[in-house]
Structure 1
Amino acid sequence: MKEKNNDDYFEKQNPSILRSIGGLLTFSTILPLNIYTTIDEMAKITWFWPIINGIIGLIATIIAFILIEYIHFDALLIATIVYGFLLIINGFNHFDGLMDFGDGIMVHGSPEKKLSTMKDPMTGVGGIVSGFIVGTITIASYCSLIDYAYAINLDLILLIIVAEISAKIGLTTCCISSNPSEDGIGKYFIKYMNFKNYVFGLIISFLISLLLSSTIGFQIGIMGIIGGAFGGALTSLIANKHLKIANGDVLGTSNELARLFSLLAMLIVISTSFTTLI
């Protein structure tokens, strides 16, 4: 008989792939799906999270398309709305993790002291500045992307989807390269992420990104995924150095940094290929 899950965040339901996917969406967003499963069943498909997150990216892309094509908002305003939407639909969970992580790594002392600081409900200067830096650069990156979409090809806004897929590629990269904490929900995602599933999810993400960027340059989509993986690996490296383990806050940070590095990587390709794209 299977041991009962000690974490009661989700109710016990009959397990299935579709329910696990719905449960992961329910867990990671504020979408009113109300589909529940156990943490274990949900975490087993962590490798599929980047593809699921593409749905969120699609919604953000539709918002950007409407604001560009029909309302003609300024690029900075559109970028801010898109980023604000992504933070809100994720319930600010990943961004909250980023700020907690920023507080933790700025504290001098042992990993235990840093982890204790991260659990403090009060946000310090390290967290505020980390959130400000990542947030402003992300908005500026979206703004540049939208400027290019106005000037070159509207299809460039499809890269918003690539960035969201890449955000979760960063998270799964962090999972595969980190040691789990002893408590918290984050340990389940690290526990069930193995190299085989990671590579499989990575390949699917590459294929989707190639398809989305096929009309504007396949190399852009490839660099987006690589940028996301780099962001996750960087987060894992910093966490291993300062904390020795990874928890939910670290995974949330990897999501935010992966999105940022994905956008930056794609913008580098776009800017260097500007004359070709025209």
Structure 2
Amino acid sequence: MFKAFFSLVSFFTVIPIPGKFLLDAPMFSNLYFLPLVGLLRGGVTVVPLVVYSLSRIEGAHIIAFTAIAFHFISQGFLHADGLIDFAEAILAHRFGVDGYKVVKDRYRGSYAIAAFSVYTLGLFSVVTALIERLSMVKLMGLLVISEVWSTMIIMLISYFGREPPEGIGRMFKRNLSLGDVVVSLVLSSTISLTLTFTTNIGFWFLVATLIALVFVLVLSRALAHKVLGFVNGDVLGFSSEFFYLITLISYWVVTWI
């Protein structure tokens, strides 16, 4: 059990793990631990916000930049890579290019650069807007909740999507069970409710999270099946990052209700 958990931590984060738990290849077992991995990533993401809060440092732009940087760093740019690859495949598919060849190509094209630039600017804008609308404690709670559910979306889209012919996505899906999904949903909900009450976030933010979850699940699955014909590792990374952005946007909308 511990080996499975640390294997997930090692694969999905850059957090150091004990040497005796290091493996040559990822071990996708006990996948119900993923929400806890998301919790760890969320903890890393909000570290600079805690420092800023304690130091009474102000400046929405620098706080937003640091939070986004730690979001990417906590995962080792793992999902960002999937976002870039699949976004490029979506754009290339419009012109009749084989989407699978695009995601397998190790070179980045102009579509990839454009997609990542737009995504990062979107994140920066919405995090800055949230900083101006919420207290630092509430913002930290929401960022952690977003990280937790961004791992949950990976499980859901893999479970409901078609199996890819090869790669990490294939390994992940073959080791994923309905029991893993159910336990992960319970864990994610428990973590979210705990943070909601301890940080006084508000019920509507949880509703926004669930709406974003369903929206991204349906849209990402449809795009994956249309462009590739299946859900591979790049789609998992894409859906995680896409969900993160959509969730934060939905939180911003809630602040105006």
- Aligned partner of 1:95 in structure 2 is 80
Aligned-residue offset at 1:224:
2.1
Aligned-residue offset at 1:198:
1.3
Aligned-residue offset at 1:54:
0.8
C-alpha contact (below 8 Å) 2:141/2:201 kept by paired residues: no
Aligned-residue offset at 1:266:
2.1
- The count of residues paired between Structure 1 and Structure 2 equals 253
Aligned-residue offset at 1:78:
0.8
Once residues 114 and 156 of structure 1 are traced to their aligned partners in structure 2, the CA distance between those partners, rounded to angstroms, is 37
Aligned-residue offset at 1:47:
3.2
- Aligned partner of 2:179 in structure 1 is 196
Alignment identity in percent? 25
**Residue 143 to residue 22, structure 1, CA distance change in 2 (3 Å):** same
**Residue 111 to residue 194, structure 1, CA distance change in 2 (3 Å):** farther
- Aligned partner of 2:119 in structure 1 is 134
- Aligned partner of 1:184 in structure 2 is 167
Once residues 203 and 96 of structure 1 are traced to their aligned partners in structure 2, the CA distance between those partners, rounded to angstroms, is 29
Once residues 161 and 25 of structure 2 are traced to their aligned partners in structure 1, the CA distance between those partners, rounded to angstroms, is 19
Once residues 112 and 32 of structure 2 are traced to their aligned partners in structure 1, the CA distance between those partners, rounded to angstroms, is 28
Once residues 226 and 63 of structure 1 are traced to their aligned partners in structure 2, the CA distance between those partners, rounded to angstroms, is 29
Once residues 193 and 158 of structure 2 are traced to their aligned partners in structure 1, the CA distance between those partners, rounded to angstroms, is 24
What CA deviation, in whole Å up to 9, does each residue of 1:201-247 have, x standing for no partner? 11221121111112221331342244234324322221011111121
Amino acid of the structure 1 residue aligned with 2:46: T
Amino acid of the structure 2 residue aligned with 1:82: A
C-alpha contact (below 8 Å) 1:229/1:258 kept by paired residues: no
Once residues 165 and 25 of structure 2 are traced to their aligned partners in structure 1, the CA distance between those partners, rounded to angstroms, is 15
Describe the SS at the equivalent of 1:141.
helix
Once residues 110 and 97 of structure 2 are traced to their aligned partners in structure 1, the CA distance between those partners, rounded to angstroms, is 19
- Aligned partner of 2:22 in structure 1 is 36
C-alpha contact (below 8 Å) 2:88/2:102 kept by paired residues: yes
C-alpha contact (below 8 Å) 1:235/1:254 kept by paired residues: yes
C-alpha contact (below 8 Å) 2:78/2:237 kept by paired residues: yes
What CA deviation, in whole Å up to 9, does each residue of 1:46-90 have, x standing for no partner? 332122211110222232122134141311211111111121221
Match among 148, 162, 166 for residue 165 of structure 1 = 148
Match among 6, 25, 44 for residue 9 of structure 2 = 25
Amino acid of the structure 2 residue aligned with 1:249: D
1:66 aligns with 2:46: no
- Aligned partner of 1:78 in structure 2 is 63
5+ residue gaps, structure 1 = 1-16, 273-278
Look at both structures and tell me which one has the larger radius of gyration over its CA atoms. 1
Aligned-residue offset at 1:109:
7.7
C-alpha contact (below 8 Å) 2:38/2:147 kept by paired residues: yes
Aligned-residue offset at 1:100:
0.9
- Aligned partner of 1:4 in structure 2 is none
Normalised to the residue count of structure 1, the TM-score between the two structures is 0.82
Once residues 182 and 22 of structure 1 are traced to their aligned partners in structure 2, the CA distance between those partners, rounded to angstroms, is 27
1:249 aligns with 2:249: no
Once residues 107 and 155 of structure 1 are traced to their aligned partners in structure 2, the CA distance between those partners, rounded to angstroms, is 39
What CA deviation, in whole Å up to 9, does each residue of 1:82-107 have, x standing for no partner? 11112122111211111111121222
**Larger RCO: 1 or 2 (CA < 8 Å, sep 6+):** 2
Aligned-residue offset at 1:195:
3.0
1:117 aligns with 2:93: no
- CA RMSD after TM alignment: 2.3
Amino acid of the structure 2 residue aligned with 1:18: F
